[in-house]
Structure 1
Amino acid sequence: MARWLGFAAGVGAAAALLVPEVARLERRPPWPVLLAARPALAGGVGVVAALASAAPRLRPAAAGAGVVAGAVLADPRRRARTTRGRTSLTVLVANVWQGRADPAALAAILRAERPDLVVLPEAGERYLARLKEDLTDLDLRAWCAPPPRPHRHVPDDPDGPWTTVLAAPRLGDVRVTPVQAGGLYGWLEVSGGALDDVRVLAAHPVAPVPGVVERWGDELDLLAAWRRAADGPTVIAGDLNSTTEHRALAALGDARVPGGPPTWPAWWPRWLGFRIDHVLAGGGIAVRSTRVLDLPGSDHRAVLATLGQATSNVAPLPMPVIHSGTGS
């Protein structure tokens, strides 16, 4: 009986640290930040459990904690799941860190990869003017969304609270309209043109830092509500300030959210950090592949995603072939 009680105590202690969803704490501070670091925490719990198991009296509790840590690390949500097939759309997300990213470096990426849509969180009209100096040969159309309201957490500058979208000429006459999220950053919806029935939301929810954690949860719910209301193929792209550990991210796309390599902070090694920049698809369109690209001058790495028609047992939605220049 003592051994089983010790095992249960180990399970309970590890679960309280690693699985706050059980008590519905995942949207209360400081849990959103701790959740982002859950794989590292689980690894730490596993190491402590292994060391503690050397003491016979602690072995049952160590075994219980180790079981929880192992289950957390084995969660299949972290396994990237992509689909095979023809590419019909390419999307690049690149947070330019309040306009600090090197415009020439970003222009070189755009020239090499030729994405159909580019989502630039924290890029406003000032950064766009600098970028255009290096993009005279690509003839990209651009739209900028200003912040919906001022906030002390976002600098009052021409780039930080903005979001910019670029569209390649092959997309045709797309419609780009602001989306009122009520948060700190501007959001844009892209539809029409060669996108056909696909709707793309360029979004940048707030980070789950003290003072705006509740707002962070509300904005993730807004993203999910937008996707439900779209009633068709959707793509949500941007700095979503969430990782695979945040279950609210699962409502934003049909496939598992890709895990590493991390996109933030860019100055950490590629095996360390957080994947908070995403391209999520659903409703008839699926992610084929993603790549993480270095972006000099930014604290984020960029994400390039290729997308195509989803395969299922139901009748497929019409999907035009827009671009197949990059491999899937």
Structure 2
Amino acid sequence: MRRFFRSAALVIGWMLVVVATGMFTVRQVGVTEITFVALVVAAPYLGVLSLAAVLLFAAARSRIGAAVALVLTIAVVGVQVPMFLADGPDNSGPDMSVLTINAAHGEADATSIVAAVRDNDVDVLAVQELTPEEVTDLQAAGIGDLLPYSFTAALPVADGTGLWSRTPLTEGTRLDNFGFVPVQAQTTFEGHDLTLVSFHAMSPATPRHTAEWDADLARMRSIMETYQGTVLVAGDFNATEDHRQFRELASSPFSDAAEAAGAGLFRTFPSERPLARLDHLVTSDDVRARSVRPLAIPDSDHLAVLAEIQLP
């Protein structure tokens, strides 16, 4: 019986190692096959599998197996550690607050969005899945009293996006050749020239949409490289920090504000039982992210993301 349990522990242990190694490799490579795109969301939990393998190998007295599983555990945990470590010293520039929310086909409660703007002294609001009806509801709830300047592309269902700002917006533009319709605008905040973008990448829900999702993220990165001054891209990227496509978009000279703030592994989707952080603020990497955290907005299937940042 002891031999049976030892053999079973070895078999299960190696199975866990193979699964964890495979998924860790997929995380690093950045594939676009729809099944793997979905499975990469579970990458933060690979350490549980590899640690379980360590315990199984230890029980089976397999030094080689335990060593392999331990190295794998260190690797899969190590890539998540930066999410808990804040970057860099304080800047000398002004503080700024940015809120981004996916409005769920325009169903998100506008009064709650405006309350979140008021309660958190938000300077810039980015909204995705912005419909004409949602714009009307936000106006009725008083968004203009708090953030009087806006540029929107309000469209049916999930296609629209919008920006609201405490400071004047200029050069408002819809970005072409995306699955949804991002908008960008310029503003000057306490002497700092900023490019603001409300971005919504295609949801990788089918093989065709997964290809569009991959193209959206790559194209957004290319456009970001053309901007002058400080860049703030807020929205629903439909990608986590474990998707290579997102890591490449948020790589130098840009950074994911949540990672820069050491915000950990909080999730934003689905809102009731979050499994993945799909919503982000990506900034020029000389912006200091003080804190990034989720906020619940009734009737949205995403949690909003509130980022407190300091400009360079």
Task: Please report the TM-score for the alignment, with normalisation by the length of structure 1.
Answer: 0.77
1:39 aligns with 2:44: yes
**Equivalent residue for 1:265, pick from 263, 270, 281:** 270
Match of 2:239 in 1: 242
**Equivalent residue for 1:17, pick from 15, 23, 30:** 23
Match of 1:125 in 2: 132
**Equivalent residue for 1:298, pick from 297, 300, 306:** 300
Offset of 1:78 from its aligned partner? 2.4
Preserved CA contact (<8 Å) 2:17 2:53:
no
1:29 aligns with 2:27: no
Offset of 1:138 from its aligned partner? 2.7
**Equivalent residue for 1:72, pick from 63, 71, 76:** 76
Offset of 1:47 from its aligned partner? 2.1
Offset of 1:303 from its aligned partner? 1.0
Number of residue equivalences: 287
Match of 1:3 in 2: none
Cα distance in structure 1, aligned partners of 2:17 and 2:272: 36
Change (3 A) 1:21 1:283: closer
Which structure 2 residues correspond to residues 275-286 of structure 1 after superposition, within 5 A?
Answer: 275-282=277-284, 284-286=286-288
Offset of 1:25 from its aligned partner? 5.2
Match of 1:50 in 2: 55
Preserved CA contact (<8 Å) 1:14 1:69:
no
Match of 1:177 in 2: 173
Offset of 1:48 from its aligned partner? 4.2
Cα distance in structure 1, aligned partners of 2:154 and 2:145: 27
Match of 1:316 in 2: none
2:226 is aligned with what amino acid?
A
Deviates more, 1:64-73 or 1:298-307: 64-73
Match of 1:230 in 2: 227
Cα distance in structure 2, aligned partners of 1:165 and 1:233: 16
Superposed CA deviations along residues 95-133 of structure 1, whole A, max 9, x for unmatched, are 111112112111211121231211111112111101211
Change (3 A) 1:309 1:167: closer
Cα distance in structure 1, aligned partners of 2:83 and 2:204: 20
Offset of 1:245 from its aligned partner? 0.7
1:246 is aligned with what amino acid?
H
- Aligned-partner SS, 1:175: strand
Q: Which is helix-richer, 1 or 2? A: 2
**Equivalent residue for 1:145, pick from 140, 144, 153:** 153
Change (3 A) 1:289 1:20: same
Cα distance in structure 1, aligned partners of 2:15 and 2:68: 7
Structure 2 runs not aligned, ≥5 long: 1-10
Preserved CA contact (<8 Å) 2:30 2:245:
no
Change (3 A) 1:99 1:9: closer
Offset of 1:292 from its aligned partner? 1.6
Deviates more, 1:285-294 or 1:34-43: 285-294
Preserved CA contact (<8 Å) 2:50 2:70:
yes
Superposed CA deviations along residues 258-290 of structure 1, whole A, max 9, x for unmatched, are 34321111101xxx5211111111154342322
2:77 is aligned with what amino acid?
L
Task: Please report the TM-score for the alignment, with normalisation by the length of structure 2.
Answer: 0.81
Match of 1:111 in 2: 118
Identity score, percent: 23
Match of 1:151 in 2: none
Offset of 1:52 from its aligned partner? 4.6
